[in-house]
Chain A
Amino acid sequence: MSGIAMPEPDAEAIAKRDWLIDALRGIVPGEGVISTPEELRAYECDALSTYRQVPMAVVLPETVEQVSKVLALCDRERIKVVPRGAGTSLSGGALPVTDGIVLGMGKFNRILDIDWANRCVVTQPGVTNLGITRAVEHEGFYYAPDPSSQIACTIGGNIGENSGGVHCLKYGLTTNNVLGLEMVLTNGDVIRLGGRHLDAEGYDLLGLMTGSEGLLGVVTEVTVRILQKPETLRAVLMGFPSVEAGGDCVATIIARGIIPGGLEMMDHPAINAAEDFCNAGYPRDAQALLICELDGPQAEVDHLIDTVTDIARDLGATYLKVSQSEEERLGFWAGRKNAFPAVGRISPDYICMDGTIPRSELAHVLRRMQQMSAKYGLRVANVFHAGDGNLHPLILFDANKPGELDNAEAFGADILKLCVEVGGVLTGEHGVGIEKRDLMPEMFTEDDLNQQARVKCAFDPTQILNPGKMFPKLHRCAELGRMHVHKGQMPFPELERF
């Protein structure tokens, strides 16, 4: 384990392990409770694999009733619970705790209803993101958010992280595409939010749950909106001699009123890593490469392609290519979609950062990043969801060299602080998890964080769900609930308080 500390394990909870496993087997019979060290090892980390911890047990429930009973048991016995989908979190969101259990939702893997007339799908949370699109594509529909892990990541995990993808500039994030949820609170209560209709009747708890990183409740059913596939998709590849020119092109496209389906940028190191890896046909000499994808009716796409190429030419593009076939369009994307493995081949290890900045700060941020790269003696390659300002700097390092992981993490932290400094945020789509937990005070005051912690207490007063994630400091709920008492009496003394 490297620099990020997890809460001190609770010896009392660990002492209860054997009793707990029996009790869990009483709720989830058969193979549903995993307790041998060999089998537990499969769950010791998520996609942030530099951090590993073995949980006391893994429970794989199959029914909502079992989820409810497991949570109620753990709530009563003060056993920590880490919910898990496919374990693809890049921020350590599904990292287990040694004094708790993992609640794996993998067996909730069925699509329950495809409602064509209302254009929505009701599914269990363990279905993969791509699985939803696969189930509806024969009728020309798809599910819009497309995180790059979509082949493996689950829709339940997408709710937890409010996942995005390359198309969210035009089609929104998970939160803009989910209609309903069923979830279980730590006290065992089963709650339904939304449904096949739009917007909430009271507080928008559906919006709050989306992106809550498994800290508020366990999702047991999801209803998402599906969209009809656009008639036409075409992409333009544009190479520029400077990052500034590439950034100007992005700003101009948007200023002209065009919202592309996807608008991605890669810097020089990323272009060359991708080219070495898969020969996508990218211009190796370009300092910035843009991929702009336009989708919609044929007439609209052709019209907008002309506008975009004119803009690029005016801004001095040194390379310009419009896809003439579906095969060519996919070829344009091949390099971008393989950017992570491509970088993996030129470096023994890398970490992927995930800040968001105002687009106008792009050139400034990339320049500062180059200075940091020199200071830390580590290379960095950038892929960038340019349309929405979401940066993914990949910091290259060698974990076998002593101190280099710590050095890379310090570099990463400096990049994220820079993002906040220029008006951006710590994480655009990967979540806070453990990775960015200790940087939260860069963005939020103590009052801000305490209010978020109070919301956590409203859902999970014993704080058993996914502890050690998101918040740098843990407070007891009673301590946060303390309020001003005037003249020795509370207003509304009859109301329940946590």
Chain B
Amino acid sequence: MSDRQHCRPVNIDELREAVAWAVGEERTLEVRGNGTKAGYGRPVECSAVLETTGLAGIDMYEPDELVMSAGAGTPLAEIEAALAEKGQMLAFEPADYGAILGGEAGRQTIGGVFAANLCGPRRIRSGAARDHLLGLQTVTGHGQIIKTGGRVVKNVTGYDLCKLLTGSMGTLAVMSHVTFKVLPAPETCGTLLLTGAARATLLGALCRAMGSAFDVSSAALLPAAAAARSTVPDVSLAGGEVAALRIEGPAPSVAYRISRLEDLLHDGEIECARLDPDGSALLWREIRDAALLDRQAPLWRISTAPTAAADIAGEREDVLFDWSGGLIWATGDERGDLRARVDATGGHATLVRASPELRSAMAPFHPQAGPLRALSRRVKNSFDPGRVLNSGRMYEGI
């Protein structure tokens, strides 16, 4: 690493120069913020490093307008602290991939959050990073500064390149500044725990809750082994599979909705219990960061239709269901059996955490075929024809 050229631009013009240099010299750039996700994606060797941490700081924050703008290298922790001071938040609740990938927690940059399209348990109600990015300044693989979007929430002027670049893992353009939507933090939150029934019954109960009018913001199911790892005693001592529903909002509304959900779901089999706001916050953070699973084993993240969850996971114990079953975190499986099942039912499986050898042998991002693969390549070409930016990180040749 030490003999590689290392660029750390402090403004967008220096960033543009760094990319233009790489294009001219036929270098390949490893684009990174704090490097918390270095172990995420295909292992690739780049001839130089382009680090965005010099592009740091909150440029604009208008709480009344629900909007913030910051350099891509700004620490997420700094942003969350500024928001908390005004009672606001990033509603998409980005998971801590530093912690998930076995590194230090709390070190992600806001650029990394958008480049990887992170989200959390509230995804099913409030969306992912993609749904909150309003505007971007970037430098493309042509070495050109490009602006897209703006600072207002309603904007259909030109193609929505914010969506395209969110989750593109730095393979199309390097983000310099991001402008995003922020939201008021809920006044309070509560969690309804469901126990005493088999997995299929509990997953069915989550789906029923999601189909109710009670505005559930998160719905997870923890197999017994995962529940036992929780630091929340009500969860770890439950002694079986535990389903959890999060309800957020003004206090009278939360109390009302929790009791209505109890009425709806309580039957001879399912038992209900409630978690207080502190316990809730702790539990949903553990779920967000897949912290209730083995933290060393390979980790899969599967997005699927909620009703397919039971079939995909089977009787596995080393799993965690979020999004009412629409998201499955699973450990182990070095052969990719889970991905084969996802292929049969619809959705995608990402190998989030694995050794470099395994990530070389098995595509970390769900393989694409035929015309879609060709289209993705043409999109890459349109931004980065010289394959300068994070090339090969998502897919071979992209």
Listed in ascending order, the chain A residues whose CB lies under 8 Å from chain B are 115-119, 140-141, 161-162, 164, 168-169, 172-173, 175-176, 185, 189-193, 195-208, 210-212, 216, 228-231, 251-252, 254-259, 296-300, 303-304, 356-360, 385, 388-390, 423-432, 436, 440, 443-445, 447-452, 454-459, 470, 481, 483-484, 486, 490-492, 495-498
CB pairs A–B below 8 angstroms (14 shown): A115-B307, A173-B154, A189-B370, A190-B371, A200-B167, A202-B398, A204-B167, A207-B163, A297-B213, A358-B67, A425-B152, A426-B157, A451-B146, A452-B159
A388→B153 contact, CB < 8 A: yes
Q: Is the CB of B371 within 8 A of A455?
A: no
- With A and B bound together, what is the CA distance between A390 and B303 in angstroms? 34
Across the A-B interface, give the 9 residue pairs with the lowest CB-CB distance, nearest first.
A207-B163, A300-B253, A257-B184, A201-B348, A189-B371, A196-B305, A201-B366, A428-B154, A458-B378
Task: Determine the chain B residues whose CB is within 8 A of the CB of A303 once the complex forms.
Answer: 250, 252-253
Which A residues are in CB contact (< 8 Å) with B26?
486, 491
* A residues less than 8 Å from B386 (CB atoms): 483-484, 490-492
- Which A residues are in CB contact (< 8 Å) with B164? 203-205, 207-208, 455
- What is the 8 Å Cβ interface bit string for chain B, positions 16-44, against chain A (1 contact, 0 not)? 00000001111000000000000000000
B156 at the interface (CB under 8 A from A): yes
9 further A-B pairs in the complex, CB-CB below 8 A; given A205-B376, A443-B157, A447-B145:
A202-B395, A208-B163, A255-B64, A356-B155, A385-B154, A389-B152, A427-B156, A427-B157, A448-B148
Contact A257 B187 (CB under 8 A): yes
Q: Which residues of A lie under 8 Å from residue B8 when comparing CB positions?
A: none
Is B326 touching A486 in the complex (CB atoms < 8 A)?
no
Whether A203 contacts B379 in the complex (CB less than 8 A), given A197-B326, A257-B87, comes out as yes
A497 smallest CB distance to B (angstroms):
6
Q: Are B157 and A425 in touch, CB under 8 angstroms?
A: yes
In the assembled complex, B350 has its CB within 8 A of some CB on chain A: yes
**Residue among A115, A191, A450, A458 with the highest chain B CB neighbour number at 10 A:** A458
A455 touches B394 (CB 8 A): no
Interface presence of B131 (CB below 8 A)? yes
Tally of A-B Cβ pairs under 8 angstroms: 301
With A185-B375, A491-B386 known as contacts, the answer to whether A208 contacts B159 (CB < 8 A) is yes
- On whether the beta carbons of B167 and A424 are closer than 8 Å, the reply is no
Interface of A is mostly: loop
**Are B213 and A140 interface neighbours, CB within 8 A?**
yes
> Across the interface, do A297 and B394 meet the contact criterion of CB distance under 8 Å?
no
Nearest B-chain residue to A483, judged by Cβ: B385
How many chain B residues have a CB neighbour from A under 8 Å?
100
B24 contacts which chain A residues (CB < 8 A)?
Answer: 484, 486
Contact B307 A451 (CB under 8 A): no
Contacts of A443 in B (CB 8 A): 150, 157-158
CB within 8 A of B256: which of A202, A258, A300, A427?
Answer: A300
B128 interface contact, C-beta 8 A: yes
